[in-house]
Each structure stands twice: as C-alpha cells, then as structure tokens.
C-alpha cells in the first residue's frame, strides 16, 4: 500500500531564504508525482508535475526533483517570499491506477517578512 | 477558460440531515474526482468518474455517500443522514484523461460542518 510522508510538518523561515521541502513514498511504481499549494479557502493549486521518467521540473523559483528508486522528491523554493506562505502537498499517482492520488499530510510554510 | 467550481462554498447542517454538494468541472475534461479532507488529516479519495465508464466508488466511506455525474459535466455528491465525522472540506478535481499526464485541477472546495 502506497504511503506518502512529508517532512517537515511545519517550517518558518525569514524572507529571502532558500528552502527544501521533502516528500517520500513507499512504492516506487508511480506514474507521476505532483506538488500542490493549498491556501485557506482557495482549494489546491498544482505547482509542478513530474512524470516517472523525469528527474526534475522547474517553474520560476520552484524546482522539484524526483528519485523514483529511492522513493523521494524534493521541492526547492528559491528566495522565499511572504506570499509563498501556504501548505505544500505532495501526491503520487500509482502506476496502473490512473485515478487516485495518494497524498502526504503537507508542510505548512510560513515566510516571515 | 474557467476552472473547476464548487457550490456551496460553506454548508452547515444538523446531524441526520441530507446534503448535496455540486461540482462543475473544466469544460471538456472527461475525468472527475471527489476527495475529502478532514481536519488534521490528508486528502482521501472518494470517487472517480471517467466518461461513460462505471465510476470507481472504492473510496466512499459508507453507503450514506453517493455521487452522480451527468455525461461529462456537473457532478453532485450526496451525503445522507449526515454525521459529525462527515465534517470536512470536500474537494472536486477534473482532468483531461490521457492528455497532459492526467494532471488534476482542483476546485476551491466545500466546507461541510455537521453540528
């Protein structure tokens, strides 16, 4: 059974810092992995999607890497800003079951001005 | 175009009442998903619709939960005889199955509170 773990559960940093959020999964047979951002009352926003054959994806100040064999992904945020404050969720789509995303509990990020 | 929309945004109901939640997916998206997020817990898959195929209901927690979808458009999630443990944010997502790697796009959610 696929399980997704995110570390740390919460993170507070001063503005301008570079930071790394971690996601691990127990079953490496995945189709893809997605990073989402969740803002209160605004649902989920997809940030980056990495296919199982890919190693990383980049969007602006965000870079996500994937090491499928070790069951790990990291989300790197460069030059953090107060507007980055949100909960970041990692979810995997298991190979052969292109339906159910399996979710981590998220990392709650606070970027202080 | 417009994103996924859900209504109502908030719903407060009394224990034992039935509630109906609505989801309008992105136009043209063939797949639609319902998830639940209870306080302090991760998102849980509830149900999945894909075109005219039989829905995957494997995540529905009890027979009090049901969902319908009209063609490839609106979906409603119905909870009968609500219980306090049903209190959660209910999220709907849609995707264009088979294209863009099944990326799912989410609505803002419906926050359900059962008193």
> Tens digits of per-residue pLDDT, B7-32?
999 999 999 999 999 999 999 898 89
**CA angle, A113 then A23 then A60, to 5°:** 50
The pLDDT confidence band at residue B40, using thresholds 50, 70 and 90, is confident
Phi-psi region of A53 (alpha: psi -120 to 50; beta: other; left: phi over 0): alpha
How far apart, in whole angstroms, are the C-alpha atoms of residue A69 and residue B46? 29
> How large is the average pLDDT for residues B75-81?
97
Tell me which residue in B31, B97, B103 faces A49 most closely, judged by beta carbons. B103
Phi then psi dihedrals of residue B77, to 5 deg: -110, 125
- What distance in Å separates residue A96's CA from the closest CA in chain B? 13
A7 to each of A100, B25, B59, B112, how far by Cα in Å? 22, 32, 26, 28
Give the DSSP H or E segment for A5: strand A4-7
- Nearest Cα to A43, choosing from B50, B23, B56, B28? B23
CB atoms within 10 A of CB A110: 13
What are A28-38's pLDDT values in tens digits? 999 899 999 99
The DSSP string of B38-70 is -TTS-EEEEEEEETTSPPB-TT--STTEEEEE-
- Pair B67, B80: CB distance under 8 Å: no
What are A66-113's pLDDT values in tens digits? 999 999 999 999 999 999 999 999 999 887 765 678 999 999 999 999
pLDDT at B98 over 90: no
How many Cβ pairs closer than 8 A exist between chain A and B?
Answer: 57
pLDDT at B70: 84
Mean residue pLDDT of chain B comes to: 90
What are A31-78's pLDDT values in tens digits? 899 999 998 777 789 999 999 999 999 999 999 999 999 999 999 999
């Amino acid at each position: 059974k696929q399980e997704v773990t995110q570390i740390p559960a919460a993170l507070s940093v001063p503005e301008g810092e570079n930071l790394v959020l971690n996601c691990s999964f127990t079953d490496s047979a995945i189709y893809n992995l997605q990073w989402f951002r969740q803002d209160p009352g605004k649902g989920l926003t997809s940030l980056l999607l990495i296919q199982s054959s890919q190693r990383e994806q980049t969007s602006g100040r965000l870079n996500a890497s994937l090491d499928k064999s070790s069951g790990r992904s990291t989300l790197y945020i460069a030059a953090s800003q107060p507007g980055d404050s949100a909960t970041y969720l990692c979810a995997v789509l298991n190979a052969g079951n292109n339906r159910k995303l399996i979710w981590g509990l998220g990392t709650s990020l606070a970027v202080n001005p | 175009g417009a994103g996924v929309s859900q209504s109502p945004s908030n719903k407060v109901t009394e224990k034992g009442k039935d509630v109906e939640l609505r989801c309008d997916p992105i136009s043209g998206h063939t797949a639609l998903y319902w998830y639940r997020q209870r306080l302090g817990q991760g998102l849980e898959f509830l149900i999945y619709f894909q075109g005219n195929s039989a829905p995957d209901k494997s995540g529905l927690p009890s027979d009090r939960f049901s969902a319908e979808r009209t063609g490839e458009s609106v979906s409603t999630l119905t909870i009968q005889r609500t219980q306090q443990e049903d209190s959660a944010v209910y999220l709907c997502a849609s995707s264009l199955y088979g294209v863009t790697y099944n990326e799912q796009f989410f609505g803002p959610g419906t926050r359900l509170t059962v008193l």
